[in-house]
Structure 1
């Protein structure tokens, strides 16, 4: 597929300036066989583009429409980190609060290497816990018991008995377990379930956040498509419920842009929710990966934060560019290799048109 990417880029580039952006995006969508594609370009004070194209399920006539919801996968991590920042501001928890401070009952079975792991470490992929994701084979549902909250606690307790993960070349130890653990800490510190914390943030921003794949509760919403472009029927996933704080939110494009614009406003010191320095910390406070955002080394005075969500049926990409006061959001309802290429092509074009 990569061999097709560059020729298509050349061919489409010749057409791009004679097309409006929706026509361009739809030509990309059709070429790469993406059922539904939604994208937005926003600044701190406006929405420059916001479009939803295609169909909700492959090989059907269920046309995409405003309000369609997409599973955002790991882009959930930025929301979890934002909630953490709000709770720190409210002095319900601190960035340097450790796991065992809130859960001393885990001391007897926790390796000493995790004694000093803090909330900040967990939210910045420096918690050292072993990797875990949607396709991990163990543990299975039958190995844990109780409701999902109890199961998440058992999952974390199990991983705290295991050897730590070795850092990669950037000093990071990426693991969804970091965010599962952080989610438990935020619940304990606030006295509220994670879903309630998310919905309270949504109420403040005018966003109706939900959870799981969109078609689970409403089959008229977009269906996700797997790596073979097969639509996934509504089904509850215990793993996605375990990975709640790491990547299990769904939201409409129109409403999600309100969260992203709040970040851009915050970087300008214009948010009422958090001070400017906290927004700087969240997106760019640490190299390579800060609080829910990748931010690889860049040119001076050029700060870009991004993340991608992919839980096996939806691919979503978000880029925030501080100096340009721009953010680019691309949502899709497929997880094929071709879908990734489509997102790359569209993002490149958006950046060329609207700035980097």
Structure 2
């Protein structure tokens, strides 16, 4: 493990954007030294409050090749941080009367019930969004089912994937009844589509536009090669090639967004917790982040022993990007870290940077 007191590299060797703001110069320089020491091509981070941005920087290169400098508007793949977006969208649809937390899955998809295991018969939207539905574990690296086994367009494939999950043995429950699986969010996304008659992409895009946020889907370079390229665990840049399994996990982990726009999303949570956001009641926002132990609706959570502060957090990693976010209710702080690589070194570097930022800006 690296010592957090890593030496700074010569300033002449840095590729740094946005270090001109006096208050954030020290953190920017430190962050870039971490980026270089941990071989992270592009690193972006922000420290925000409900009403403002304390620090926000984008550093490095869009891919591990010369000639592709980072831009402040670069987009990053969120991975599992998509789940908080899906849960917030669901909450607004519940408030609008389009669906209920207790709407059973099979009330919307009765055609899937006969081939499903009896243990899944009672699952509802609430259980799916809180990792308590019992569905088997699944991620894009699983060999089965293969893309050849699921036919039709992407929507038809996700429905076939749901049918596959519902025929599998349930996961053994963890503490607090948790059964964390991307499959839960695949089914939740299907429910939101069926309840509204609109595609998940359309729902998310429209919600984002209403809040000044431009969400995208898939790895950023799929639609624009001038956006950051992800890097695999070997540190190699990944060219823009569609991944059908990531498309299956659309509502569980396949959104991309720029850091400035994601800041807006996170600030909605901070303002919502304070009762300053009109979209949802403060009690509902608190329920989404902290309403159940360990994992609520799209967010893991904990109570810090030393500060007694409530912390909601999550990490996204679909094999080419790592994104981390932490929302601290009582401190009115959120920390966001994005990287376009997914190596163990990247994860260690982000841990170091997050600890530094919290020492500097509070937790």
TM-score (norm 2): 0.93
SS at 1:289 equivalent? coil
2:211 is the counterpart of 1:205: yes
Matches for 1:315-330 after TM superposition, within 5 Å: 315-330=322-337
2:29 is the counterpart of 1:23: yes
Determine the structure 2 residue equivalent to 1:217.
Answer: 223
CA–CA distance in structure 2, aligned partners of residues 196 and 221 of structure 1: 22
SS at 2:5 equivalent? helix
- Calculate the aligned-residue CA RMSD, in Å: 1.5
SS at 1:296 equivalent? strand
2:279 is the counterpart of 1:284: no
CA–CA distance in structure 1, aligned partners of residues 140 and 320 of structure 2: 11
CA–CA distance in structure 2, aligned partners of residues 227 and 351 of structure 1: 27
Matches for 1:114-153 after TM superposition, within 5 Å: 114-153=120-159
Determine the structure 2 residue equivalent to 1:50.
Answer: 56
Shift of 1:169: 3.2
CA–CA distance in structure 2, aligned partners of residues 10 and 330 of structure 1: 19
Shift of 1:101: 1.0
Task: Say if 2:204 and 2:215, in contact at 8 Å, map to a contact too.
Answer: yes
2:2 is the counterpart of 1:10: no
Matches for 1:54-93 after TM superposition, within 5 Å: 54-93=60-99
Q: List structure 1 runs of 4+ shifted beyond 6 angstroms.
A: none
What do the CA deviations read for 1:262-310 (whole angstroms, capped 9, x no partner)?
Answer: 1000000011110101100100000000101011354484100000000
CA–CA distance in structure 1, aligned partners of residues 236 and 189 of structure 2: 32
Q: Matched residue pairs, number?
A: 348
Which structure 1 segments of 5+ residues have no match?
Answer: none
Task: Say if 1:288 and 1:297, in contact at 8 Å, map to a contact too.
Answer: no
Shift of 1:180: 0.2
Shift of 1:167: 1.1
Q: 1:344/1:143 Cα in 2 relative to 1: closer, same or farther (>3 Å)?
A: same
TM-score (norm 1): 0.95
Determine the structure 1 residue equivalent to 2:321.
Answer: 314
Query: Which residue among 319, 343, 346 is the counterpart of 1:336?
Result: 343
Task: Say if 1:72 and 1:247, in contact at 8 Å, map to a contact too.
Answer: yes
Matches for 1:93-112 after TM superposition, within 5 Å: 93-112=99-118
Shift of 1:171: 2.6
